[in-house]
Structure 1
Amino acid sequence: MYLTREITYQAARTVAGQLKEHFSKLLTAAQERGDTELATEPHTQAIEAILDTAFWASLRHEEGRSPKISLAFLPPGQAEQPLLFAQRLPLLSTVLTKLAPGVERQGIHLGVWFEEDDFYVWGTTRNIPSLCLVVDVSEPGLLVVKHRRNDGYGKYANVAILKGDQVKLVDEEHSTLPDCPSMLTSLLGFTSPATWHSSVNVLIQLAVSMRAHRHGGTLLVVPSQTSQWKESIVHPISYTVSPAFNAMANLLKQEDERENNLTAWQAALRQEVESIAGLTAIDGATIISDSYELLAFGAKIGRPKGSNPVEEIFVTEPILGGEASVIHPSQNGGTRHLSAAQFVHDQRDAVALVASQDGRFTIFSWSPCEQMVQAHRIDALLL
């Protein structure tokens, strides 16, 4: 096969070979497990062409708006109930920009395939095979390479993030960074069949929703067996919930409903997640118990009497080549991040989720191995 296309986005050339190898390993492992309905392995030229076209399209505007689109590499025959164009469209940035307003809704992919010497867009689909290469245009100059997970449920797995000339490859095995407790290891596999409804997955669903509202916010997850966490909260709390609101907690206990009517149960859980995440947009922290009961929102974090200020935090990010670092918490973000780090420093059984308005997202937890607060930067997993 020889496809003629000039690639002018240098980052596409830089990362295409690594992405091809990554998808090849994923698909080979899936085949050896006996998985079926798998995607076609993407070749280097396809990855380069899709990234190059998507990048230049992201910098264009249609009626004053930047495009937000999702491109999936598959032939029409691998899509379920595809919407087919009568005439194939060339894979060009101008074409993608024109199509963007009509396909920017979540879950819609533009299908990309090739024939003879070039690539084309054949239509749209909502259903793609497992491990299918997907490239999302999230904002100008920002591309996210991902794939549909084997089990088919939940958020797609992110593989790489390209922003301008910067490339970050997600470390899916989390092999390069210390992780104690194993928060990031759990987060990287959060939609596997065994764990998708687990506590870690609910935190990720809340994180995705918090990040989406773009107001910034803090969510504190405190132990239900003790009220010691109240020592780190300024009283009176602006909005205390009494009795505790337990709709999400009750849903997570409904084993029978989850097994018998999974779709309805998922929809109900998603609704509760959106409700609680929405409260984090209000000034102050939202507080839930570790059994997912809503306790308060609009709360101000304070340092308990006799407590020392947090001086160091341990920062990790699940990126290949990334290194863990110890920094002063003020270097990690603004007041919201500093107060969350202080809260976890004083309340070591608690977890704090912090969203910035710029899209950064950090989960703070206490590391018994390092004996300090660990800040998990998980932006790369949420895009």
Structure 2
Amino acid sequence: MPQNRETTYQAARAVAQQLEAHFDKHLTTARHQGDTNLAEAPRAKTIELILDTAFWASLRHEEGRPPRISLAFLSPEQAEQPLLFQQHLPFSSYVLTKLGPGVERPGIHLGVWLKEGELCVWGTTRSIPSLCFVVDVSEPGLLVIKHKRIDGFGKFANVAVLKGDQVKMIDEEQNSMPDCPNMLSSLLGFTTRSSWHDGINVLVQLAVSMREHRRGGLLLVVPSDSKTWEESIVHPILYAVTPAFDGLAALMRQDEEEKSQPAWQAALRREVDSLAGLTAIDGATILNDRYELLAFGAKIGRPMKSVPVERVTITEPVLGGGAATVHPSQIGGTRHLSAAQFVHDQHDALALTASQDGRFTIFSWSPCEQRVQAHRIDTLLL
């Protein structure tokens, strides 16, 4: 595949320079801070070619199914225990489609690198260096550009999302907005290594799992030292849990050494998926801030002395997204309106709302604005 060939996917051409600048900036900063095991930043033309080929591959089918692949730009020497092809394969949409069924499991990357000036596929790897350029192809016409975090923990940090001709570049400055929830800051990459062993990581994993079941769902996170949230729930609660189920809480109470073990991480994933599954049931799933399950299928009601929520500030962490003040009915349906009303009445609570179409919104109270904030974060969860 000649590096000078013309690309036909216009979104790739439009975003390539921005992506080159992003990776250059973060890798330069990491080197100045003394970080090691860093990737190499791809040039704009290389980025354009990778995105162009990945996009057209996403529209092809192999045995009736579109490919689900992850492409990582690194040399074989930068990978640990790579699976090496005897002959490097041409980097083409045809090759990616053919390889797709064998590499669609999470954590497997197809290694892409330049050989004699040409892009090629050299094999697969599960281990990539920090800030490695990764393109995730999860559905037709959808590309997510991301990178591995410096410390290697937690979900990869998303950089941009391309869907058809629509381009969304993640705005890393969103973490500086007033009352930005810790969960949003963590997804934008502004957390310490230790935070990925605490509740921030759990909420991120719950959000990802809620989104994956594609049935829609609502998770309320309430304080463990107060019962005022019960005023916003219709009683009796049909699916109340007594005593509170502490499967997830028990895992979170274990020490840091236990949390670093693969067995603990696997157990956490099982508990997260089980809890996220309950959010598919009509109504709200209620979790306290100690991660104890209190109820599911609960109905949200407005307390007698409360007034209906009229205005919500909605944001999306993408460049040019800005903030808008709207009526909550403009954000989504009944589930979103109920989530906004709950947080409007219970300022110390958090509401995580998943739509069937994949949209995901965090509702939180802003003391600065004295208003509910709605943060659209589906671009960060892909």
Alignment TM-score, normalising by the size of structure 1: 0.95
Contact 2:3/2:49, CA 8 A, preserved across alignment? no
Secondary structure at 1:230 match in 2: helix
Partner amino acid for 1:32?
H
Work out the CA distance in 1 between the residues paired with 2:192 and 2:273.
22
CA shift at 1:200, angstroms? 2.3
Contact 2:157/2:187, CA 8 A, preserved across alignment? no
- Per the alignment, residue 298 of structure 1 pairs with 297
- Per the alignment, residue 58 of structure 2 pairs with 58
- Per the alignment, residue 326 of structure 1 pairs with 325
Partner amino acid for 2:65?
R
Work out the CA distance in 2 between the residues paired with 1:45 and 1:116.
15
Work out the CA distance in 2 between the residues paired with 1:284 and 1:110.
41
Contact 2:71/2:134, CA 8 A, preserved across alignment? yes
Q: Mean alpha-carbon deviation: is it higher for 213-222 or for 188-197?
A: 188-197
Secondary structure at 1:99 match in 2: helix
Contact 2:149/2:189, CA 8 A, preserved across alignment? no
- Per the alignment, residue 82 of structure 2 pairs with 82
CA shift at 1:197, angstroms? 2.1
Partner amino acid for 1:3?
Q
The 5-angstrom pairing of residues 33-182 of structure 1 reads 33-174=33-174, 178-182=177-181
Work out the CA distance in 2 between the residues paired with 1:251 and 1:306.
39
Work out the CA distance in 2 between the residues paired with 1:181 and 1:167.
24
Deviations 1:172-212 (A, max 9, x none): 2326x733254433442366313112322221111011111
Work out the CA distance in 2 between the residues paired with 1:235 and 1:204.
29
- Per the alignment, residue 252 of structure 1 pairs with 252
Work out the CA distance in 2 between the residues paired with 1:319 and 1:11.
16
- Per the alignment, residue 207 of structure 1 pairs with 207
Contact 1:5/1:118, CA 8 A, preserved across alignment? no
- Per the alignment, residue 194 of structure 2 pairs with 194
CA shift at 1:43, angstroms? 1.1
Count of residue correspondences:
380
The gaps in structure 2 that reach 5 residues or longer are none
CA shift at 1:47, angstroms? 0.4
- Per the alignment, residue 21 of structure 1 pairs with 21
Contact 1:39/1:132, CA 8 A, preserved across alignment? yes
Contact 1:241/1:295, CA 8 A, preserved across alignment? yes
Work out the CA distance in 2 between the residues paired with 1:26 and 1:51.
20
Contact 1:285/1:299, CA 8 A, preserved across alignment? yes
**What's the Cα RMSD here?**
1.6
Contact 1:190/1:196, CA 8 A, preserved across alignment? no
Contact 2:311/2:326, CA 8 A, preserved across alignment? yes
Q: What fraction of aligned residue pairs are identical, expressed as a percent? A: 70
Deviations 1:24-46 (A, max 9, x none): 11111111111111111211121
Contact 1:172/1:188, CA 8 A, preserved across alignment? yes
Secondary structure at 1:231 match in 2: helix
Deviations 1:245-285 (A, max 9, x none): 112222222225436x5333322222221111111111111
CA shift at 1:144, angstroms? 0.3
Work out the CA distance in 2 between the residues paired with 1:186 and 1:153.
11
Deviations 1:268-322 (A, max 9, x none): 2222211111111111110011111100001111112232111110111111222
Deviations 1:26-72 (A, max 9, x none): 11111111111111121112101110000011111112211111101
Secondary structure at 1:104 match in 2: coil
Work out the CA distance in 2 between the residues paired with 1:129 and 1:114.
17
Say whether 1:369 aligns with 2:382.
Answer: no
The 5-angstrom pairing of residues 192-341 of structure 1 reads 192-255=192-255, 257-258=257-258, 261-341=260-340
Work out the CA distance in 1 between the residues paired with 2:58 and 2:190.
29
Work out the CA distance in 2 between the residues paired with 1:282 and 1:267.
24
Note closer, same or farther for the CA distance 1:109–1:275 as it changes in structure 2 (3 Å cut): same
Contact 2:362/2:374, CA 8 A, preserved across alignment? yes
Work out the CA distance in 2 between the residues paired with 1:290 and 1:23.
36
CA shift at 1:224, angstroms? 1.1
Contact 2:181/2:364, CA 8 A, preserved across alignment? no
Deviations 1:193-251 (A, max 9, x none): 13112322221111011111111100001111111111111122121110001122222
Contact 2:219/2:353, CA 8 A, preserved across alignment? yes
Deviating above 4 A after TM superposition, structure 1's stretches of 4 or more consecutive aligned residues are none
Work out the CA distance in 2 between the residues paired with 1:263 and 1:192.
20
Work out the CA distance in 2 between the residues paired with 1:302 and 1:308.
12
Work out the CA distance in 1 between the residues paired with 2:11 and 2:26.
22
Partner amino acid for 1:237?
I
Contact 1:4/1:118, CA 8 A, preserved across alignment? no
Secondary structure at 1:365 match in 2: strand
Note closer, same or farther for the CA distance 1:273–1:118 as it changes in structure 2 (3 Å cut): same
Partner amino acid for 1:251?
L
Contact 1:217/1:282, CA 8 A, preserved across alignment? yes
